[in-house]
Each structure stands twice: as C-alpha cells, then as structure tokens.
Structure 1
Amino acid sequence: MSDTRSPHQKPFALFGPDFTFAYDDWLQHPAGLGQLPPTQHGTRVAIIGAGLAGLVCGHELMKMGLHPVVYEAGRLGGRLRSAVFDGSDGVIAELGGMRFPRSSRGFYHYVEQTGLHTAPFPNPLTEAAGSTVIELEGERFYARRLSDLPPLFQQVAAAYDQALEEQASFSALQEAIQQRDAAAVKAIWNPLVKDWDERTFYDFIASSRAFQQLSFRHREVFGQVGFGTGGWDSDFPNSMLEILRVNVTRCDEDQHLIIGGAEQLPQGLWQQPLQQAVHWPPGTSLQQLNQGAPRPAVRRIHRNDQGQLTLTDSRGHQESFAAVITTCQSWLLTTAIDTEENLFSQPLWMALDRTRYMQSAKTFVMTDRPFWKDKNPQTGEDCMSMTLTDRLTRGTYLFDQGDNRPGVICLSYAWMSDALKVLPLDAEKRVELALAALKKIYPDVDLASHIRGNPITVSWESDPNFLGAFKGALPGHYRYNQRMYSHFMQDQLPAGQRGLFLAGDDISWTPAWAEGAVQTALNAVWGVLHHLGGHTHPDNPGPGDCWHTWQPITLDN
C-alpha cells in the first residue's frame, strides 16, 4: 500500500484497537521509560524465557538500573529461530517468525536499535515474489498481480473488502488508527467486540452480504488462497475479533524479512552494550550481567516465608527475587513449571489454561542457486513461483539470497490439520512428499537436482518448550484475553498475587505477531517499575498511567 501520509503525520502503527496506547512514542521519548528510587538500583528481577518478550524486558529493565536474571529452557531467541544450513556460509531457514509488518513500530524500534536491515517479504502477488502460481483442484494460474488472475479471484478479494466495510466499519476504523485518535478507535471497536467475540471468522464470511451474493466456490477459494499472506482457512474456527485486528492494523500487508535472520534481533538485545544507563557502567550488557548465558529452565515458582518470589531451576538451585516476569507460553505454567496456585486468581488460571495454540509446520531446503528465476523458453514465465495450493505443501516460498549465493525454498508452510499430517514424519520424508506435490504443479522442473545439503524442518507443537506455534483465540475467548493482558495492572490484586508479571505474544491481542511480544513486554516493564516504587516522566506516561482512560472494554459475565 502506498504511503499517503502528510509530512507531519506519524507512521501507521499497531495502535490498539483494544488498548489505544502509542508504544512507539513511549519508546522514543528522550525522557526514557521511567525512573526507580536509587535504593532499588541493582535489584535482581527474574525473567523466565529468553525470547523477544523476555529480552525486551531485560534490556529495558537493565537500562533503568535493575539486574535482570534470565532463565531459558531451550534456545535463546524463542520463536525467532534462524537455523543455518549445514556447511553453508550463513544461509538460514526461518523456522519461526519470518515476516514482520511495518505497522509493528515497537518491533522496528529494536530492529533499528540493533542495526539490522530488512527487505520486502516475497508474499503472493507482491513485487518481492516476482511471480505467483495458484493451483487449486488441479487448475493452475500464473500471475504477477491480482489483475492477472481470472475474475473469480478478483471477486473474492472485492467481497472480503466489502464484508469488512459493511460489518466492521473498516475504513473509518483504520483511519482512526492512522490518526491515533484513541476516542474514535474505541467508539468503533468496542461495539465490534460485543458483536463478534462469540462468532467465528467463517461466520463473518458466510453471513456477509458480499459473500452471500457469490457461490460456495468463492468462499472455498478465499480459504485456500486468501489475499496478502496466503490462505485463511486454518483460521476459520477462530474468533473474528482476532482476524479483524490483523486486518485493521495492517499486520497482513507491507511485511518485511530481516536480512541474515530474525534471530539476530534477540541475540542483539542480549549482547548489545549499553551506551547510557542508570547504575551500570557503559558497556554493560544482558549477557555480561548473566555471566555469559541464561540460567537453565525454571521448574518451580513459589512465594517463600518472607513473601519473596522464589524460582527453582532444573538443577535444583533456588533464588528469590523482588519481581518475576514470565514470558513462556501459558500452558507451560501448568505442564512444565510447578507454579504455586495462589500466585494467580482462579479466573486468571482459567484464562491461562484455556489458551488454544495452533499447530504449524515448515520444511526448508537450500538450493544451488535461485534457479526459479530461469525463464521457461516456451512461455517466458519464471520456471517456478511463490506457490499457493490445496495440496499438502499449501504455501511454498522462494528466497533469493543474492548474486552468487545459494537459494532457499520453504517447500511447505502449513497450519493446523495440514501441519498434523506431517507431524510424525522426519525431514527427508517431508521433503519427499513436498517434492511429489510440487512436481504435479511444475512437471518440467527438476527441483530435486538443485537441492544441496540437508533439509531443515520444524513442528512447533512437538517442542516441549512451546506446545504450539502461537495462540489462536476461539469464539468467547475475549474475556480470557482481557484477564491475561490486563494482569500487569496489579494495584487491586491481593498482596500474594503481586510481583509476578505475564508477557509474550500469547497474552497479547495479536498472537503470532512479534509486536504483541514487544507491547506486552513493555507493559510488564511498566508493571515492575510501578511495583518497585518507580515512576514515569510526566511528559512520557506509560501504559499503566493511561490504562484507566483507554483500557480494553469489559464484557459482562
């Protein structure tokens, strides 16, 4: 989408719509995020999880003069995981987050701070993809833009735009977000919460006047192909609110990848030396404060006789802290960590346990070169394209690493039931099945001859430290989400429930998007600051200072 902002207009941001707080403004203000009493400087605060949320928390709390102690059960970086192909010169497969919308202004604050560079992601029908092939029910279509496709596809795209406009006041809501007009955003969004919390994405499509005027085939094509990032059918059972948030905050457009791998961002936050900070000398880093590496997995959280929060790690070591931030996926608080029950209220436990995670599988190969740019001598088309299909692969993405460099193909990116189909299979079998499916779409391409080295694959639901890719809220889950997201506001909690904070994209309003991890991390940073007697600058209020004005709507029970 072209940028039509005036010279003085702020960039479009993931501003609300549930909590209309400008996190990018808070981050960029010269006054900083807040100040602690000098008596609190050096206080140890535990962070469970060294993914993006945990390391944003650690980075910002360290800048305030606290001593973050980081625990990690697996690999630093969480679901920003860039796996290097064996024997390659840093050629990577993005197993977790790989496409980041420019509306994620908090996320890009840290991208820029760590000196990383981005490039447009090769989504279907974008210039970065070059060309796209859509193959459904054995019928193949080649396109560079939507207008190259038959009218059926254009009708589907137009119908979805019409449904959003008629049932969600889409243009007005997006304009209010663009203008950062909190009152206007809430005036439109809050009634939508009441209308759509208990209805599915598919219900939104099927009940819309736009799609009712079309055939079932149109709805089927929308599910298989979608527009922007690919098919939507794996999200059909989800709450429509979750999809509306993605659309209206432009999470599904203008997406970029991080050159060299997304894992560089958490690694950069871990290693980056502070230039200016309170209490700590210049050059201090999270890595330095943690003696080179995170602590091992947390196995127990309880409150000791002195009222402090105590963590027991997998080696039996215990340490007590003034505050604890847990950024792991919520199920782990019952399956992997023995969490004292009275640290959370029973309604909050209900919300944590009811979180529903979506399955996701990816399979990558490295190729000798980006051969897909070769032209078919008969048709003049690219010999292979970004591919959307109803076959096992579902989405196939092509990554050009530059001149004289190997290429990378994500042979298959699948969700839910399609991901479960390959769950028991090893990497080689997954490649075999993907190649067989793609051969039916590209019968003249000898894809296997271009593959080099060993494949790389992931099924996030089989990882004991994740149990799924990310949250996918079901109808009726708004109240649960509100309880988790609001937990950083602790003044009204009993004393025995204070000091333990939640963060991570699975308690955010935008699961699967890194901006949700960043924003909930910043909420937790404000929570710890407030818990330890600190305050924000009057000219730069934080999320907790603005909470009672712009907090998410409360639904009746």
Structure 2
Amino acid sequence: MSDGAHARPLTAFGPDFPFPYDEWLNHPAGLGAVPEGRRGEEVAVIGAGIAGIVAAYELMRLGLRPVIYEASRLGGRLRSEPFGYDTDTIAELGGMRFPRSSAAFFHYVDMLGLQTAPFPNPLTEAAGSTVIELGGESWYARSIEDLPPLFREIAEAWDGALESVLHLGELQDAMRRRDPQAVKRIWDHLVPRWDDHSFYEFIASSPEFSRLSFRHREVFGQVGFGTGGWDSDFPNSMLEILRVAACEFDDDQHLIRGGVEQLPRGLWEREVDDAVHWPSGTSLASLHGGAPYGGVDRVSRAADGKLAVVDSASTTRHYRTVLATCQSWLLTTQVQVEEELFSQDLWMALDRTRYMQSSKTFVKVDRPFWRDVDQATGRETMSMTLTNRLTRGTYFFEDGPDDPAVICLSYSWMSDALKMLPHTSRRRADLALEALEKIYPDVDVRSHIIGDPVTVSWESDPYFLGAFKGALPGHYRYNERMYRHFMQAGLPEAEKGIFLAGDDVSFTPAWAEGAVQTALNAVWGIVDHLGGASDPKNPGPGDRYAELGPIELSP
C-alpha cells in the first residue's frame, strides 16, 4: 500500500463509477439549481423507500415539489416492525446491518442524529460469543483463533484469492486515495474478465482454494466467516461479490438503534430551512398533507407531451418528470408502463433482473437470557449461531440486561428461504426453535418468548417480489444499461423524462448505499432534464459521467 493510503477511511467510492457522493452532498455550493420558472414544479416519485425519500428530499431542497406515490408502506425494505403494541422493541425485516463504508447513506443517518451500534455479527465483540454447528458438531468461539484450523485456512484462502487473482489491495488503495483514474484502470480490467464467471467458479478455480479440500469450499458456503455462509451467492456473478469485498460492505457493520425505518421517516418529516422556493419549516410531509398518494397503476405519454400518472384511486396527474424507485419487476407486473417509454434493450435489462429470496423470523423475549454464564463451562448460554440447519443464521439483540430483547431465530436466503414460504409465522418459529433445540438441548428458549413471532418473505410480497437483486454471470450489460439511464441527453424524445433509482438499479444490490447513490444520480438527471445544472464548483455525477462512467462491454 502507498504511504497515506489509510489517511481516510475506505468508502464505496466506485468501483464501477468512482464519484465522491459524500463530497458532493457536503459541498457548500449544494447539488445544483433549477431555472426560476421551474421552481415549485411537481415531480412524481414512485416508491417511498430510501431511494424515493432521499431523491424527494433533495428535490424539495432544490425548489421542486416531489409528489410521492406509495402502494405499501413508507420505508420500503427499511422496515422496522414492532412486536404488537410494544413500539420500543422492533424486528428489522429488511436492511438491518449497514457498513460504515456507506458514506452517502451515513450522511443522512448523521444528519438526523440517529444512534448506531456495532452489529452482532459472528466472531465480533458485539456478538460476544459465536457457535458454529455443522453435521451435529459444535464449536464455541469468541474469535477465529478459538476455532479449528479448518476455519482459519478458509479465511486465509479467501483473502489470498482476492489478493492474488483480483489485486484487491491495489484497488482498495486507489479507493481510499479517491483516485478515480486508478480505480477505473483496475476495475475496467476486471469487469470483462469476471462478468461471465460465477462466484463458485472463482472459488473452485482459485489456486488458494483448489489446493484445499472440497470440505473447505463446502464449509465456506455453509457458515463462511465474517457475516456467515456464502453458498446462497455461489451462482451470482463474481463481480457482485468482488464489489462487496472492495467496498468492505461485509466489515464494520452497524445497526440503527430504535430501527432503521427512522431514517426514511425522519427525512419525510424533517423540516428544512435552507430550501430554494419553499418557506422555512417545509417538509415532505407538509407538502403531502401528511401522507403519500397511493400506488401507481399506469404511466404513459399524454397528448400534451408530459407523463400521465394514474394512481390507485384512478386520479390522473401530468408531470414533466417521473422517478420510479420501485423494484424493476414491478414496472412489468404492478405498474402498466407504456412500452415506448423505455428502449427494448432497457426493457430486457429490467425484466432479466434476477431477485434473491430472503426470509427472517423474529421473536421477542423477556430478557437477554443468552448472556447467562454456565458456571461449569464459563460459556454464555446461547451465542450468535451459524449452522447448516434450517435457521442458517441466528442473531441476538439487546438494549439492557433486564429489558425485553429480540432473537432473529432464522435469517436465510434462496432455497432455504423458500422452505419457509408456505408456513405461518408460528410454524416458522417452531421450525427454527426445533433446529436450535438440537444445538442447545439444555436451553428452554420457548419459556422466554413473549407474544407472537414476526416474520417476512419478501418474495411473497406483491410490491417487492424478492429481497434484492443478485446478478448472474453475463448480467453486467443489463446493469450498466439501467445504471446509465439517468444520462438522458442522447435518448429519443419519447424516452426522456422518466428516471430509475433504487438498489436494484445500482451495482451494489442489497445495500442501502446503492439505493442512495442512484437516487442522487436521478436528482442530477431530473435537474438537467428541467434545464438546471450543477454549480461549477461542485460538479455532479452526470457532469463527470463521460470521464468516470462504468465501462461499456461490446454487445
């Protein structure tokens, strides 16, 4: 590493588009300006998840009037679900762990003064202790040094493969230094090399893993290290995984105390005193009379050239610009979008986006009893648990030794999540408890449970149809089409004015940072479409796209 490489922390500075979103957000010149005659103009925003709310908040500050449509619930997949009437105890059904490298996301967390804490991932101080159970055999650990050599060999092989094959250290050095040309030089070489290869193929063929046994790859997939097993991601493009490693999304993760849903709701309610056009005290909530409009049924080009949006109450409104932040499949299943609004190439990309399934089951308990220490062994009663059983990952959350606490009995993905799909919340909890009773035969978890379990399967929700995107090998071209759509100067007139944002449009699906960054791209695009511009002292993502934009692969 070069001298000073660690002078600033690593953030999600690319790697596909190394633009400094945090610096753009914090610059005193602001995000740009729209012509005076456009001030107060309405902009439709479809979806009130974090992408929609961030975009709406910044558009409001620029003097536009965002009109938010939401078919389900404000916050999207940042969903903090209370246990019945106890609103102080919550289950994080969507995003629940947020890496500090998510600089644009934490810009808003810090702005709202939300409190964070380290997430209790396996083998971290926040978890306290970890139990790994495979094939009926259990290991208790507080650090990786407490585990058999097999696990250290896996960790060393993974780190070694990333470095020897992908030159991760050099890439991260360039990201830390905020050297966009160096980032692009390295990343643009990796994209065509690894887009066509799966994660599992990378693992199986790397020299570091190939000299180890199949058992090493199997355990890496089942329980992994760091935040857990990787086998759900084995079919994905290696680029998808490399981005996670490059941005350190799997490291230094935090939770939001009181629930992450406070973030979108906080931006919804936040009164601003620095907005163009709007008086001090204006908020998104006040512009909407306290609630967003309902869902959108149809978007089409009207006779006046504007975009006609028909909501669930059959009310039609016309807009020069529309921002769709819902998951892309909804543009073909829930919202009737006129085909001419997108190119056939873009429709292909939107439709071929592949979503991963995810299931979680939570219970509220009377206290964090897992911290009780067995006097005979000196071990905690229960630990953060990784297993190849149905539960896969079990996490424990607490506020104090005598306060009610929460157990995420099971967090699973893909085929394991689908095993839960047909079952009621009670049956899901029973299945998870039966699995945990085999690992902890002397612990009566059931005696501590209060009330009913809380659960989610995002793939069964008609407004989501899956938890997050998981790009397959060969999907880079699709992703690049969706990502650059905010650059509309070269589009046919019939396709201008409708924008896309959300983590599935980003190159980092499943991470809130991707949703925030694409929302900011859309803000730039909307301002540009309406005749506005960035301040020359603070160029936006579109101003630097020709220089820094993602590499385009040949058709």
- Scaled to the shorter chain, the TM-score interval is over 0.9
Q: Which residue of 2 aligns with 1:542?
A: 540
Q: Given the alignment of the two structures, is residue 169 of structure 1 paired with residue 167 of structure 2, yes or no?
A: yes
The answer for the alignment partner of 1:86 in structure 2 is: 84
Q: Please name the residue that 2:195 is paired with.
A: 197
State TM-score, norm by structure 2: 0.99
Match of 1:48 in 2: 46
Q: Give yes or no for contact 2:10–2:172 (8 Å, CA) kept in 1.
A: no
Map 1:109-508; keep pairs closer than 5 Å: 109-508=107-506
- SS for the counterpart of 1:439 is helix
Q: 1:539 to 1:160 in 2, by over 3 A?
A: same
Q: Secondary structure at the match of 1:361?
A: strand
The alpha-carbon deviation at position 7 of structure 1 amounts to 11
Contact map agreement 1:368 1:451 (CA 8 A) in 2 = yes
Matched letter for residue 448 of structure 2: H
User: Aligned partner of 1:180: which letter?
Assistant: R
Q: How far apart, in 2, do the equivalents of 1:188 and 1:87 lie?
A: 52
Deviation at 1:36, TM superposition (A): 1.0
Aligned positions of 1:49-64 closer than 5 A:
49-64=47-62
Write the distance in 2 (CA, Å) between the matches of 1:209 and 1:125. 27
1:96 to 94, 97, 112: 94
Number of paired residues? 554
Shift of 1:377: 2.0
**2:520 alignment partner, SS class:** helix
Q: Distance in 2 between matches of 1:39 and 1:87?
A: 48
> For the Cα contact (< 8 Å) 1:93–1:364, is it kept in 2?
yes
SS at match of 1:543: coil
| Structure 1 residue matching 2:158: 3-state secondary structure | helix
**Most deviating of 402-411 and 324-333:** 402-411
Gaps of 5+ in 2: none
Q: CA-to-partner distance for each residue in 1:43-64, whole Å, 9 max, x for gaps?
A: 0000000000000000000000
For the Cα contact (< 8 Å) 1:5–1:11, is it kept in 2? no
**1:142-192: CA deviation from partner (whole Å, max 9, x where unpaired):** 000011100000000000011101110011111111111111111111111
Residues of 1 paired with 2:498 and 2:444: CA distance? 55
Q: Among 493, 509, 512, which residue is 1:511 paired with?
A: 509
| Residues 435-455 of structure 1: CA deviation (Å, up to 9, x unaligned) | 110001001101100111111
- Tell me how far 1:9 sits from its aligned partner: 3.4
Q: For 1:17 and 1:362, how far apart are their aligned partners in 2? A: 30
Distance 2:410 2:424 in 1: 14
* Letter matched to residue 371 of structure 2: K
C-alpha deviations, 1:487-535, integer Å up to 9, x for none?
0000000011001000000010000000000000000000000000111
> Structure 1 residues 469, 481: CA separation in 2 closer, same or farther (over 3 Å shift)?
same
Counterpart-to-counterpart distance in 2, 1:6 and 1:295:
50
For the residues of structure 1 that align with 2:298 and 2:85, how far apart are their CA atoms?
40
Q: Offset at 1:98? A: 0.2
Distance 1:503 1:412 in 2: 30
- Pairwise CA distance, 1:227: 1.8
Deviations 1:300-351 (A, max 9, x none): 0001011100100111000001100000000000100110000000000000
Q: CA deviation at 1:216?
A: 0.2
Give, in angstroms, the shift of residue 89 of structure 1. 4.8
1:71 aligns with 2:75: no
Asked whether the equivalents of residues 192 and 553 of structure 2 are also in contact (C-alpha less than 8 Å), the reply is yes
Aligned partners of 2:5 and 2:176 also within 8 Å: no
* Matched-pair contact (CA < 8 Å) for 2:5–2:177: no
Asked if the contact 2:368/2:402 (under 8 Å) is kept, the reply is no
Displacement after TM superposition at 1:87 (Å): 3.4
Equivalent residue letter for 1:400: E
Whole-Å Cα distance in 1 between the matches of residues 186 and 363 of structure 2? 45
1:215 Cα deviation from its structure 2 partner: 0.1
Residues 1:351 and 1:8: Cα distance change in structure 2 (over 3 Å) = closer
3-state secondary structure, aligned to 1:161: helix
Give the match's secondary structure for 1:545.
coil
- Note if contact 2:67-2:292 (Cα within 8 Å) is conserved in structure 1: yes
Retained in 2: the 8 A contact 1:201–1:235? yes
Whichever residue aligns with residue 233 of structure 2, its letter is: D
Per-residue deviation at 1:8? 9.7
Aligned-partner SS, 1:191: helix
Whole-Å separation in 2 of the counterparts to 1:151 and 1:48: 51
State the distance in 2 between where 1:87 and 1:280 align: 37
Q: Secondary structure at the match of 2:310?
A: strand
One-letter amino acid of the structure 1 residue matched with residue 204 of structure 2: A
User: For 1:300 and 1:205, how far apart are their aligned partners in 2?
Assistant: 45
- Post-superposition Cα deviations, 1:71-92, rounded to whole Å, max 9, x if no partner, equal 0000000000000011325100
The runs of 5 or more residues in structure 1 that have no matched partner are: none
Deviations 1:121-144 (A, max 9, x none): 000000000000000111100000
Equivalent pair of 2:200/2:234 in contact (CA under 8 Å): yes
CA-based RMSD: 1.2
Deviation at 1:404, TM superposition (A): 2.8
Q: CA deviation at 1:6?
A: 6.0
User: 3-state SS of the aligned residue for 1:512?
Assistant: coil
Percent of aligned positions that are identical: 64
- Counterpart CA distance in 1 for 2:115 and 2:272 is 21
CA distance in 2, matches of 1:476, 1:416: 20
Determine if contact 1:393/1:414 at 8 Å carries over to the other structure.
yes
Quick one: distance in 1 between partners of 2:350 and 2:165?
Answer: 30
The 1-side partners of 2:535 and 2:494 are apart by: 29
Partners of 1:457 and 1:223 lie apart in 2 by 24
Normalised to the residue count of structure 1, the TM-score between the two structures is 0.98
Q: Which amino acid aligns with 1:120?
A: P
Distance in 2 between residues matched to 1:342 and 1:527, nearest whole Å: 20
SS in 2 for 1:544: coil
> What is the distance in 2 between the residues matched to 1:89 and 1:46?
32
| Alignment correspondent of 2:525 | 527
